Amino acid sequence: MTNPHTPADANSNGPDYGPIFLAFMRNSLSRDMTFRANFLIDCVSSLTWTAMNIGFYLLIFQYTKQIGRDSGWGQYEFFIFLATGMIINSVVQAFFMPNCEELSELIRTGGLDFALLKPIDAQFLLSLQKIEWSALSNVVAALVLIVYGVLNLLHRSGQPLAIDWFTVPLYLLYVACGIAILYSLMIALSATSIWLGRNQSLYDFWFYITNFSRYPMEIYDGPYGRPLRLAFTFVIPVLVVVNVPAQILAQPIVSAEAAVRLPLAVFTLFATVFSLLASRWLFQKALEQYRSASS
């Protein structure tokens, strides 16, 4: 039997993905607003968790001036780092996680057959058809935290912070790179469901390895930390996801030299492109070996 995704590939003109994505957004928002109490509870739960997380680090900074010895990540610098991670993870959780979580279930129930028969790119459809709007509530809290951290750095005596018209677009670019890297990792792990059926343990692996991105790479030092830093920077590049964009705002404060930061920023662009291409190749390779539930 021919693979079900053939009709979608045969459409030479291709669908207009912009309006389709907007339709996904509207449909998801309408679905969430149908159960507004549940939506508000999810938002409050996310913000409560964020407040508890910030309170935890406020407690830590009562006993230390920096996260990591001589790392340069003081309280306000780390709050910028923390808020950057919150933005990246909130976007991933809102747009990609609900869909990737369902991929193995679609395979088990045969629902993937119907998705592949539609005249649209399978990866686009399976990645974005459902959006969890409540996950974006943390973005608001993160923006407040960034403003708080930047203003305190600007007013701290003897510690100049250069923020110009180029800073914000560059910051947004590397935030987008971080989102793309995490998405690539997530869709690649989810695609293995096509070979393994139910790969919940492999999908949980995504949470384990992304835990390394929650802390600055400067803390991974010494004989035990350096191998982790190298592995999760150049093999699985999760350490650059938050580090690079956060350094753009806290760059003059962080102790790493500019000669070290620039190659890392260039590598992040390369890692983003490579991650997207590699995950796309893996997804397509998995689809080629998919066999319809009705075959």
Asked, for residue 295, whether it belongs to a domain, the answer is no
pTM of the predicted protein model: 0.87
Asked, for residue 257, whether it belongs to a domain, the answer is yes
Asked, for residue 293, whether it belongs to a domain, the answer is no
Asked, for residue 166, whether it belongs to a domain, the answer is yes
Question: What was the pLDDT predicted at 260?
Answer: 53
Distance CA 287, CA 280 (A): 11
Question: What was the pLDDT predicted at 113?
Answer: 83
Sign of the dihedral through C-alpha 213, 214, 219, 222: negative
Residue pair 107/197 in contact by the 8 Å Cβ criterion: yes
Question: What was the pLDDT predicted at 289?
Answer: 80
Distance CA 3, CA 295 (A): 10
Q: Tokens standing for 194?
A: 């096509």
Asked, for residue 76, whether it belongs to a domain, the answer is yes
Residue 74: beta bridge partners?
66
Give how many domains the chain has, as a whole number.
1
Asked, for residue 263, whether it belongs to a domain, the answer is yes
Question: What was the pLDDT predicted at 4?
Answer: 46
**Number of neighbouring beta carbons within 10 Å of residue 34:** 9
Asked, for residue 294, whether it belongs to a domain, the answer is no
Helices (H), 96-237: 97-109, 111-117, 122-128, 137-155, 167-191, 193-196, 200-210, 222-230
Question: What was the pLDDT predicted at 11?
Answer: 45
Contacting residues for 257 by C-beta, under 8 A, at least 6 apart = none
Total residue count of the chain as it appears in this document: 295
**What residues make up the domain containing 116?**
6-288
Mean pLDDT by 10 residues, the chain (295 residues): 45 73 90 87 90 91 83 87 94 90 80 83 89 90 91 68 72 94 91 71 72 86 85 91 89 50 88 95 87 61
Distance CA 155, CA 210 (A): 33
